[in-house]
Structure 1
Amino acid sequence: MHKKILFLITALLLLAACPACAKKPALYPNAHYKEVGKTKASEDIQYCLEFADKSVGKESRGKTSVKSGVKGGLIGGAIGFGIGIVTGSPGSGALAGAAGGAAGGAASGAMKENTDSLYRNFVERCLREKGYEPVGWR
């Protein structure tokens, strides 16, 4: 059972850190976008994301998920330990609580917005200077 719980937590953390899952800017299909096409627009988005990484940095989704997972694991473990004392199995209760808390915390961290406003603003300005109209992130 312990291996299953560890596997589940690891899988959630890896999914949360998935770079392909990161939010990216969405562009309005203005005249420039239509002129250069989807492929060139995607290349320009990637350029602006990398430029922002180098210039202002960003907090990664994985770091947020790990922090949330650790916090959730500690809280869940404490709650599970308390319940375990009442039911007569504090070790199992703490383990189950920690696993549930860590999984929930990691999932919660993964769902949080993965870019701060400075990073978003930098990327959007880069795209506007290239002729695009960013309309949001997804």
Structure 2
Amino acid sequence: MTSTSTRILCSALLTASLLGGCASTGPSSPSARPVFYPNAKLNAVGQERANQDADVCMGQARNAGLTPDEKDNAVLHGAEKGAAIGGVAGAVGALVRGKGVERAVEHGAVGAAVGGSAGAVAGAFHEKPSGTYRHYVQRCLKDKGYDVIGWN
């Protein structure tokens, strides 16, 4: 690979890493936590204790075999699609420009790396929280006297 190709590949991977981190927060992410309504139980024990009880309930959900995210492999599928599209586009582009087969392979590899990175980031934005996991945690917290009004 040429040094330009290497720089492009490194930039694509760095961008994918940074954007992937952004995709893993917020109320629709698997890392979200329960939000409590300030009822008598929360007022009596305080937010810190409520968060500890939420940790216990989330641990129980995991012990029951549940996970916070739907296991649909969105990141992997996005990376696969992106790599295939980027690889073909890079190789065909080099061939159309008359760069020869050797350069077409190089351009295809760079295209696959960039496309795979972009596809992985796109897939990360499609990760979904598990409704069953959330219902389990909410039920556990309800049994402890809390009122969960959402996830954040």
Shared topology, TM-score over 0.5? yes
Runs of 4+ in 1 over 3 A off after TM superposition: 9-19
**Aligned-pair CA distance for 1:16:** 7.4
Query: Which segment is superposed worse, 10-19 or 73-82?
Result: 10-19
- Measure the CA separation in 2 of the matches of 1:34 and 1:16: 33
Q: How does 1:118-133 map onto structure 2 within 5 Å? A: 118-133=132-147
TM-score where L is the length of structure 1: 0.73
Q: Does 1:29 align with 2:27?
A: no
- Measure the CA separation in 2 of the matches of 1:13 and 1:76: 19
- Measure the CA separation in 2 of the matches of 1:9 and 1:66: 17
Work out the number of aligned pairs and report it.
136
- Equivalent of 2:113 in 86, 99, 106: 99
- Equivalent of 1:72 in 59, 78, 82: 82
What letter is aligned with 1:95? A
Q: Secondary structure at the match of 1:26?
A: strand
**Higher helix share goes to which structure?**
1
Segments of structure 1 that go 5 or more residues without pairing to the other structure are none
% identical aligned pairs: 31
- Equivalent of 1:55 in 32, 51, 64: 64
Q: Secondary structure at the match of 1:52?
A: helix
What letter is aligned with 1:85? L
Pair 10,18 (structure 1): closer, same or farther in 2 beyond 3 Å: same
**Aligned-pair CA distance for 1:97:** 2.4
**Aligned-pair CA distance for 1:40:** 0.9
- Bigger CA radius of gyration: 2
What letter is aligned with 2:59? E
Query: Which segment is superposed worse, 31-40 or 77-86?
Result: 77-86
- Measure the CA separation in 2 of the matches of 1:91 and 1:10: 23
Q: Secondary structure at the match of 1:57?
A: coil
- Measure the CA separation in 2 of the matches of 1:74 and 1:117: 32
Pair 135,51 (structure 1): closer, same or farther in 2 beyond 3 Å: same
Pair 72,28 (structure 1): closer, same or farther in 2 beyond 3 Å: farther
Query: What value does the CA root-mean-square deviation take over the aligned residues?
Result: 3.3
CA contact (8 A) 1:16 1:110 kept: no
